[in-house]
Amino acid sequence: MDILLANPRGFCAGVKRAILIVENALKIYKKTIYVKHELVHNQYVIQQLRKKGVVFVEKISDIPNNSIVVFSAHGVSKKTEKKAIKKQLIILNATCPLVTKVHKEVEKASKKNIETIFIGHKGHPEVIGTIGQYNNKNGKIHLIESIEDVDKLSIEKNSKKLNYFTQTTLSITYTKAIIESLKNKFPHISGPKKEDICYATTNRQNAVIKLSKIVDMIFVIGSKNSSNSNRLAEIGEETGVCTKQIESFQDIQVNWIKNIKYIGITAGASAPEFLVTQVIKYLQKIGAKKTKEVLGTEEKINFNIPKHLTFLSS
Ligand code: 2E4
Ligand code: SF4
């Protein structure tokens, strides 16, 4: 058996930035750092930060007044931000800049009273945060998840203008199909030039598709609540190659890989590289021979962290 590694895989610029914000905040403030929601959707990242004293909460009301709060990479609604301000919390915003970009677009539509359609997964924190930028009693924002939802959509009859935006981690192919059906039903709808799906999501999905052409099985390393990891597993499966989503090497069952000659590995944007290394080591222990990277789009994107948190990082 040989191992083929998807490239790019694993941490994206938004995740690296979020983790650096929390790590530097720990060093600078030397106080408990509270994080609203899991900073990123990976249980190993969360475990490591917990060990360093970080406290994760789901509600702002669970944080003592005047404490330090970090907003997770998925972003928060205006309401949540207001609650944090009211409690006089010091806010460190680890929302990915590419999520913030969508927030600003939705906010603009809200201010202009433009009825808006948001494509995303119900209940996901990014979706709650982004929809929560639409703060207008006269306008409306509709959440849709599928083509069937487009069929069911009813828009105000006198709505001359209509916008759409999307979650950053959706499936490229399926989202294109939803947008096409939106455009068929509402020819006057307008949205971003490209969907709001980010560069990292796009590159990781393309890398899995490339991998699927040369392997007999794919491992996607990523937690079950990670939308972008779930999409990678779905896309792998859609190519017809048996795909297993795993948290770590411990989830691997030897009988899965009995007759496998080429095994592909990728990791979601929130999955640390040490989990990939562990899987490789485990597979080598049970007989894997060569390991090779399958190169896709090179990534050079890097996001700065807020200036007051930078002096520690070189
Ligand atoms: C924010 C936006 O959104 P997803 O569930 O994929 O988040 P995860 O934490 O797994 O990945 C990082 C991230 C954060 C992706 N997009
Ligand atoms: Fe930002 Fe994209 Fe990474 Fe999400 S997957 S944190 S939008 S770079």
pLDDT per position as a tens digit, 82-113: 999 999 999 999 999 999 999 999 999 999 99
Residue 91 CA to ligand 2 center (angstroms) comes to 20
Look at strands 189-190 and 162-166 and give their pairing: parallel
Q: What percent of the chain has pLDDT over 70?
A: 98
Mean pLDDT of 2-23: 98
Is 67 assigned to a binding site? no
Q: What is the pLDDT of residue 173?
A: 97
Q: Which of 41, 16, 35, 95 is nearest to 232 (CA)?
A: 41
Give residue ranges with CB within 6 A of ligand 2: 12-15, 73, 96, 98-99, 168-169, 198, 200-201, 228, 269
Q: Which atom of ligand 1 is nearest to the CA of 40?
A: 9
Q: What is the pLDDT of residue 157?
A: 59
Lowest mean pLDDT among 68-72, 91-95, 193-197, 216-220: 193-197
Is 291 assigned to a binding site? no
**Any idea of the CA torsion for 123, 75, 115, 173, to the nearest 10 degrees?**
-70
Q: What is the 3-state secondary structure (H, E, C) of the chain?
A: CEEEEEECCCCCHHHHHHHHHHHHHHHHHCCCEEEECCCCCCHHHHHHHHHCCCEEECCHHHCCCCCEEEECCCCCCHHHHHHHHHCCCEEEECCCHHHHHHHHHHHHHHHCCCEEEEECCCCCHHHHHHHCCCCCCCCCEEEECCHHHHHHCCCCCCCCCEEEEECCCCCHHHHHHHHHHHHHHCCCEECCCCCCCCHHHHHHHHHHHHHHCCCCEEEEECCCCCHHHHHHHHHHHHCCCEEEEECCHHHCCHHHHCCCCEEEEEECCCCCHHHHHHHHHHHHHCCCCCEEEEECCCCCCCCCCCHHHCCCCC
Mean pLDDT of 201-227: 98
Residues of CATH 3.40.50.11270 domain(s) within the chain? Answer: 13-96+305-309
Task: Please report which confidence band the pLDDT of residue 314 belongs to, taking 50, 70 and 90 as the band edges.
Answer: low
The residue whose two tokens read 């222990």 is 285
Apex 147 CA angle, 142 and 149, nearest 5? 35
Q: What is the pLDDT of residue 312?
A: 63
Candidates 3.30.230.10, 3.30.720.200, 3.40.1010.20, 3.40.50.300; CATH matching 98-185 = 3.40.1010.20
Mean pLDDT of 39-44: 98
Is 96 assigned to a binding site? yes
pLDDT per position as a tens digit, 51-89: 999 999 999 999 999 999 999 999 999 999 999 999 999
Task: Please report which confidence band the pLDDT of residue 259 belongs to, taking 50, 70 and 90 as the band edges.
Answer: very high
Q: How many residues does the chain have?
A: 314
User: Closest ligand to 17 CA?
Assistant: 2
Residue 313 has pLDDT above 60, yes or no: no
Give dist(CA 253, CA 244) in Å, integer. 10
Give dist(CA 3, CA 249) in Å, integer. 14
CATH 3.30.70.100 fits 2-11+198-293, yes or no: no
| Residues designated as active site | 126
Look at strands 141-144 and 115-119 and give their pairing: parallel
Give dist(CA 38, CA 201) in Å, integer. 19
**Best residue among 36, 227, 235 to mutate for probing ligand 1, ranked by most atoms within 8 Å of CB:** 227
Fold classification of 13-96+305-309 (topology level): Rossmann fold (3.40.50)
Residue 199 CA to ligand 2 center (angstroms) comes to 8
pLDDT per position as a tens digit, 117-175: 999 999 999 999 999 999 987 779 999 999 999 999 988 755 789 999 999 999 999 99
Residue 244 has pLDDT above 80, yes or no: yes
Residues of CATH 3.40.1010.20 domain(s) within the chain? Answer: 2-11+198-293, 98-185
Residue type, 141: I
pLDDT averaged over the chain? Answer: 96
Q: What is the pTM of this model?
A: 0.97
Residue 66 CA to ligand 2 center (angstroms) comes to 29
